[in-house]
Chains A and B, each alone.
Chain A
C-alpha cells in the first residue's frame, strides 16, 4: 500500500515536471507590449506609434513595421496587397536578464499596419516568424462620447447646496 502511494506521488511529480518543462519549451521568445493588440481589439487610437517588445534572454530578433496604403483581400480573406516598410529592419539581440526593444514612429498615416517579428538563430537563419496586424485611427478629441459629468443637474444642485451652505453655514 505504502509503495503504491509513493509510486503515485512520484508519477504526479514527474507529470508536473514534464508539463512545466513543456511550458518552458513553448514559451515565446518575446512579448509585444505596445501596440496593445488583444483578441477582442486590434485598433490602435494614436497619431504616434510606440513599439515596445519584451525579449527573452539570449534571443535575436528582426523587427519590421509595414504599412498598407491600399488593402485588397483574396476571396479567402487573406491580404493580397504589398506593405510599405515604414520602420526597420531593426536587429535586436537580448544580452541581459531583462530586455525591451523600443522604437517610435511619429505622425503615422492611419490605416492597416503589420508588425513582423522574426526570431533568428546564431547563423542568421530565421527559425520563427510572427506577424501582428492592426488598424490605427485618430482619437476623437471632442466632448466625451459618454457624458462624464451631468453639468446642468449638478450645477443646479450645486447652486442650492452653495446657497444653503451660505445661509446655514457648513
Chain B
C-alpha cells in the first residue's frame, strides 16, 4: 500500500513539476486549451507580454495584457475569465480577472497563496479549483460580479468538476489513500457528500447527461 501511495505521489509531483517547467519556460509562447465546452484558444506571448483570446465560436479575437497559465472560461455575460500571475509593484501575485468581449478589464481579484488549478464558468457561477497542500484542495465559487459565494474543501486532488442546477459534482483523487472519489456539494443546504468510486484509479474528467 505504501508503495502505491508513493508511486501516486510521485506521479502527482511529476505532473506538478512538468506544469511548473512549462509555466516558467523561457520560450515565447504557451498555448492553453483546457476550456471546457467553449471553443476558445488562448495564446500566450511571454516575450511581448500580451496574450490573445481567440473565440472560435464567435470569431472574436482580443488581445489582453495579463498572462494566464491556467486556462480561460466564458460566462453568460460574455466575460472571459482568466487566472493571471506576475509581479505587481514588485509583489508576486496571482489574480482572477475578467475581460469583456472588447478586451476591457472588468474584474480583478487578488488570490490567496494557493495554486490555481482550473477555472470554469457554468450558469452564472465561476468555479475555480486550487491546490492548498499535498492532499487538500479547495473549490471557490464566484458570481459573475466576482463576489465570493462559497469555499468548499476536499481531501484529495481535484481533477474535474461540473455544476448542474444547485449541485456541484467534483472528481477527486485521494493521493493518501489512492482512491478515486466523487464529492457532491449542494449549494442550497451547503452539504458536502463523499462517495468512493474506485481504487487505484484517478477520476480525471466527467460529463453528465439528463436522459
Q: Do A and B come from one complex?
A: no
Q: Which residues of B contact A (CB under 8 A)?
A: none
Q: Which residues of A contact B (CB under 8 A)?
A: none
